[in-house]
Structure 1
Amino acid sequence: MSDFEVVTTQLTYEADGVVSVRLERPDGAPLPAWEPGAHVDLVLPVGITRQYSLIESPPDFSSYKVAVLQQRNSRGGSEYVHVFLRPGQRVAVGAPRNHFALDDAPAYLFLGGGIGITPLLSMARAASERGRDYALHYGGRSLRSMAYRDELRAAHGDALTLWPGETTGPLPLDELLRERADGALLYCCGPEAMLAAVAEAAARNGWPQQDVRFERFAPTVHEHGPDLPVTVLARRSGVELLVQEDESVLDGLLRAGVGIGSSCRSGICGACQTTVLEGEPDHRDDILSAAQRDAGDTMMPCVSRARGDRLVLDV
């Protein structure tokens, strides 16, 4: 599904530097359905595209709600939303994508840091509605910076613990991860330093790697060999090209006129995910699981290349 036009119907300041944006179709028609953990591309009038987690929709999906943290040193997306976006302004939104899906489990541990609370809002709500055991721990610089804290208190009661760093210090990860309910899954979203600390604490405390799920705002650094030229056949398009060592597979395909969607260009959004028909991908994304990487039948051509000199892609 291509991008579609929506109207900004409401902007609400939720905390220091955090504004929520409600979006509706101009004709009032329902928006595409989504599941907890999904995000959308928001295409701003100045041509900037950014990804934001979906927070809520009414049962008829007549609107979407996202939250945007103002980042003054960003590439301009958050600054535009905070300074220029107004109710009534039209923007474009992409169809929901979900690479942080809430798998069914008997229990959950949710860890959110700062604006990383946003995908966990719908997850905790779903866990509560399903009658699952869960705990939500939310860390931030201060209470003033922690969006939705009152809403979360009302909805989750004792299942919620707030950790405003200026008074509590950081989340006590070893304490939180030491005891694990049978079959529990851990979902975590926040700054990269927090995610790295959670990964280390989870390993120390015996959490299986496949039961620890992360969503990232920025790509991690993946070790790999030198980038070499690779021949790529876009089978459906009937185009064969040589991708040079100084360009990505995605850029090579676009240069050759092969239509393929993209957004973040850093391996964290999944917009360019492509089926691999032949060849072995050299995965450098932050989306695919270990099992998906081992299967080798899909890749993110914005960052990943080939373990060999040829790939055949279903584009």
Structure 2
Amino acid sequence: MVALTLVDPSGRELPSWTPGAHIDLILPGGDLVRQYSLCGSPADRYAWRIAVLFEPGGRGGSRLVHQALGVGVTVRARGPRNHFPLAPSDRCLFIAGGIGITPLLPMVASAEADGRNWELLYGGRSRASMAFLDELTGYGDRVRVHPQDEAGLLPLAKALGTPRLDCLVYCCGPEPLIGAVESHCVRWPAGSLRTERFGARPVTADEANHVTTFEVVCRRSDTTLTVPPHESILDVADRAGVVTLSACREGFCGTCETNVIEGAPEHRDSLLTEQQRASGSSMLICVSRARGGSRLVLDL
């Protein structure tokens, strides 16, 4: 893993941010855009810190960061945006797996500064692979570190076995961890669990079996699109010349979030909360579709 500190070349202040926020990094060449959580201090208006895990089997973004972004290199960024905010609550349980510690670092610092009752469960393959352990040491026994080669998997059943009305759970990490936490939180009050994924949510069998053609009216562009079963709204809109913004194209960064004027979206993203999905006021057009093949009118 490499930690990078980003500053404005002219020394100006950077845009403000809150715990849980991320930025889009536009990597050298301009073809790759990747999202990285800000893991420094929001109080520092002159520097952004991110941490990037090298993934040999990834799509090339981490390799570029590790090999091309040295001291003095200029890189473009967009944001910050925050779809994983720290909400008011008396108690917080933070659960991190591997690189998922990054968005939780400023959350932990904020919870401590606010005097909240909080604890952090942090798991990884080994201590050597777990970043920022030195920073977390100062919090004492509020932080419970579980290297898998020493202590096994995180004790989720113990930590989440009893639902609490006054506690919010924040989880970030690999998909198996998030899936396990979601399963343990089924009996918790609605809205108790907040998650952030670094990849696409797995498609369920029901979603895979119910993919139909539907129509999208782009209100601002005065364009009507026909979206076939195995293409996204985003792909069809781009081909038709409709102006869109996008980055991950997998439903977890939020760049392509679009307001819904009419119609019922079928949400397939990894980002929106259950309340946001129920409202139907916006959707991520890179993965989400029209419910039952119905017609959508979007603010595009």
What's 1:167 paired with? 150
CA distance in 2, matches of 1:20, 1:228: 44
What's 2:265 paired with? 281
**CA deviation profile, 1:209-236 (whole Å, cap 9, x unmatched):** 4201111122222332433222211111
Does residue 31 (structure 1) correspond to residue 14 (structure 2)? The answer is: yes
Deviation at 1:58, TM superposition (A): 5.7
Contact 1:53-1:119 within 8 A present in 2 as well: yes
Describe the shift of the 1:310–1:178 C-alpha distance in structure 2 as closer, same or farther (beyond 3 A): closer
Letter in 1 for 2:43: P
SS in 1 for 2:154: coil
CA distance in 2, matches of 1:252, 1:150: 48
Deviation at 1:197, TM superposition (A): 1.4
Matches within 5 A, 1:89-108: 89-108=73-92
Does residue 314 (structure 1) correspond to residue 295 (structure 2)? The answer is: no
Matches within 5 A, 1:18-57: 18-46=1-29, 47-57=31-41
CA distance in 1, matches of 2:165, 2:215: 47
CA distance in 2, matches of 1:78, 1:276: 34
Deviation at 1:309, TM superposition (A): 3.4
Unaligned runs of 5+ in 1: 1-17
Count of matched residue positions in the alignment of Structure 1 and Structure 2: 295
TM-score (normalised: structure 1) = 0.90
Moved more, 210-219 or 175-184: 175-184
Deviation at 1:274, TM superposition (A): 0.3
SS in 1 for 2:25: strand
SS in 1 for 2:179: helix
What's 1:265 paired with? 249
TM-score (normalised: structure 2) = 0.94
**CA deviation profile, 1:62-119 (whole Å, cap 9, x unmatched):** 1110000011011111111112321111111111111111111001000101111111
CA distance in 2, matches of 1:142, 1:256: 49
Contact 1:263-1:271 within 8 A present in 2 as well: yes
CA distance in 1, matches of 2:2, 2:77: 17
Contact 1:233-1:239 within 8 A present in 2 as well: yes
What's 2:58 paired with? 74
**CA deviation profile, 1:143-188 (whole Å, cap 9, x unmatched):** 111110011112x122111111111111111112234554110001
Letter in 2 for 1:258: V
Contact 2:3-2:49 within 8 A present in 1 as well: yes
Letter in 2 for 1:137: L
CA distance in 2, matches of 1:177, 1:241: 45
Does residue 293 (structure 1) correspond to residue 274 (structure 2)? The answer is: no
Deviation at 1:123, TM superposition (A): 0.6
CA distance in 1, matches of 2:35, 2:88: 25
Structure 1 segments (4+ residues) deviating >6 Å: none
Describe the shift of the 1:246–1:178 C-alpha distance in structure 2 as closer, same or farther (beyond 3 A): closer
- RMSD, matched Cα: 1.5
Deviation at 1:293, TM superposition (A): 1.4
CA distance in 2, matches of 1:149, 1:33: 26
Describe the shift of the 1:26–1:44 C-alpha distance in structure 2 as closer, same or farther (beyond 3 A): same
Contact 1:52-1:67 within 8 A present in 2 as well: yes
Percent of paired sites with the same residue: 47
What's 1:197 paired with? 180
Moved more, 109-118 or 289-298: 289-298
CA distance in 1, matches of 2:295, 2:59: 35
CA distance in 2, matches of 1:246, 1:142: 40
- Residue in structure 2 matching 1:210, options 188, 191, 194: 191
What's 1:178 paired with? 161
SS in 2 for 1:30: coil
Deviation at 1:56, TM superposition (A): 1.3
Deviation at 1:44, TM superposition (A): 0.6
Letter in 2 for 1:51: Q
CA distance in 2, matches of 1:241, 1:137: 46
What's 2:225 paired with? 241
Letter in 1 for 2:14: L
